[in-house]
Structure 1
Amino acid sequence: MNNKDFISDISSVTGYTVADTQKMVNMVIDYMTDNFQDGNAVTIPNFGTFDVKKKLERVMVNPSTQQRMLVPPKLVLNFKPVVSWKDKLKNGGGR
């Protein structure tokens, strides 16, 4: 499913126009992005939690040259689904 299909499906279910639905989805994504930049987690009930984790600085070895390189620390976005979603996926994703 691409963005256009996603927005049109949501707009047909909610009764809003496609343009209004696109604006609402963009607002939610912008809100989530602002929270991630502040280091806050975003929890969506019955879906899961998005949070930002810090990966520590580490030493990596290039396998072809055996040269050691220092990889700087970075922030990574992590998603943890609710248990019911995990169970659905383990059981084949049935509805």
Structure 2
Amino acid sequence: MNKSQLINQLATDAGLTKAGADRAVNALLNIITQQLCSSNSITIQGFGTFSPRQAAARIGKHPLSGKPTHQPACVKAVFKPSQQLKDTLNP
């Protein structure tokens, strides 16, 4: 499912217009992005937790030449599903 399909499904399920569903999806994504950029976690009860995680610098390998390359430290977005979501996916 891509973003436009998500918007269409939200509009159908929630009885919203497509424009309203588009604003809702964009607002939610902006809030999650802002919180992750501020080093905050977002927990959605029954779904999971989005959190920023610091990744250390490391030495990688160029896929074509095999030469070592430096990968700088960075912040990654991590999602940890809730137990309820895990149980739903794996009955």
With structure 2 as the length reference, what TM-score do the two structures score?
A: 0.81
Given that residues 46 and 83 in structure 2 are in contact (C-alpha distance below 8 angstroms), is that contact kept between their aligned partners in structure 1?
no
**Cα distance change of structure 1 residues 71 and 4 upon mapping to structure 2, 3 Å threshold:** closer
1:53 match? 53
TM-score, length of structure 1 as denominator length: 0.78
Counterpart in 2 of 1:81?
Answer: 81
- How many Å separate the matches in 2 of 1:43 and 1:20? 24
Report percent identity of matched pairs.
Answer: 27
1:16-35 CA distance string (max 9 Å, x none): 21101101110111111111
Aligned to 2:20: 20
| Cα drift, residue 50 of structure 1 | 0.3
Q: List structure 1 runs of 4+ shifted beyond 3 angstroms.
A: 59-70
Distance 2:48 2:86 in 1: 10
Aligned to 1:38: 38
Unaligned regions of 5+ residues in structure 2, if any? none
2:70 — aligned with what?
70
Q: Which has the larger radius of gyration?
A: 1
Is 42-51 or 63-72 further displaced after alignment? Answer: 63-72
In structure 1, distance between residues paired with 2:89 and 2:80: 13
Consecutive unaligned residues of structure 1, counting only runs of 5 or more, are none
User: What root-mean-square deviation, in Å, do the aligned CA atoms of Structure 1 and Structure 2 show?
Assistant: 2.2
